Amino acid sequence: MRVIISGYGRMGRIIENMVLTRGHTVTATVDPAAPEATVKTLSKELLANADVVIDFSIPETALSNAEIICRAGKKLVMGTTGWYSDMDRMKELSGEKGAAIIWSGNFSLGVNIFFSILKRTSEIFNSFTEYDPFIHEFHHNKKTDSPSGTAVMLGNIVLDGIDRKTTIVSEELKRQINPEELHISSTRGGSIPGTHIVSFDSQVDTIELKHTARGREGFAAGSVSAAEWIENKTGFFSIDDMMKDIIKREDKRR
């Protein structure tokens, strides 16, 4: 594949290395602030020499980037978080000229396995009302959104599985939390790639599920896998669609 990387910070550089290691070509790196990037802005002309864009830029440019990419009929791996209020517009764009979008708050394959485990765990805890779930996440001090997209995805899995929880609350609480609310809290500091903890607490014990990233390579590998998966597809997809497809293929091989 011919790949454009949008967002050429630490993550973009790791993705570039992963793309090349997997035998693909990087035709451009896009970033208005990084002096090492080959261009500052994405354009229709730039896309003429590419098959897919892997976007790890900033929330403010996510939608405008998607508009340019989809109108050119190209594929987009959207790893940027914080744009989810524009979800409906993203879905509309993905139907243009054979374009496709696959998005996730976290492209790490390990995290997505974590999602599958949490889905089943939440279904079990739905029957045990004495356990109260909550989520906490840690990230590095350069992260621009809070809570993380991954934490929100974890929260939605808990809401889907536990009937007594209906609303996510992520702001600072200066009151008693309501029984139907699920609290997601965040810490920002240091160089932490990402740690997410889902706890189920009762008066007698606490059960925790935890994922700790050791680096950004897992996110990069997952985003390149997503680019390979979406290469011949059209439409709007989430990482869940890719994971279900992979698991189904593995089941058939068995």
Residue type, 123: E
In DSSP terms, 238 is beta-bridged to: 103
Radius of gyration of the chain (CA): 19
Question: 24, 119, 140, 143: which one is catalytic?
Answer: 143
Which two three-digit tokens encode residue 102?
């696959």
Whether 143 is catalytic: yes
CA gap 193, 207 in Å, rounded: 23
Contact between 138 and 173 under an 8 Å Cβ cutoff? The reply is no
CA gap 87, 85 in Å, rounded: 6
173 secondary structure, DSSP code:
P
Helix (H), strand (E) counts: the chain: 8, 11
Contacts with 109 (C-beta within 8 Å, 6 or more apart), sequence order: 218, 221, 222, 225
Contacts with 212 (C-beta within 8 Å, 6 or more apart), sequence order: 194, 195
Whether 139 is catalytic: yes
Question: 74, 136, 139, 183: which one is catalytic?
Answer: 139
Contact between 241 and 229 under an 8 Å Cβ cutoff? The reply is no
Q: Which residues are catalytic?
A: 139, 143
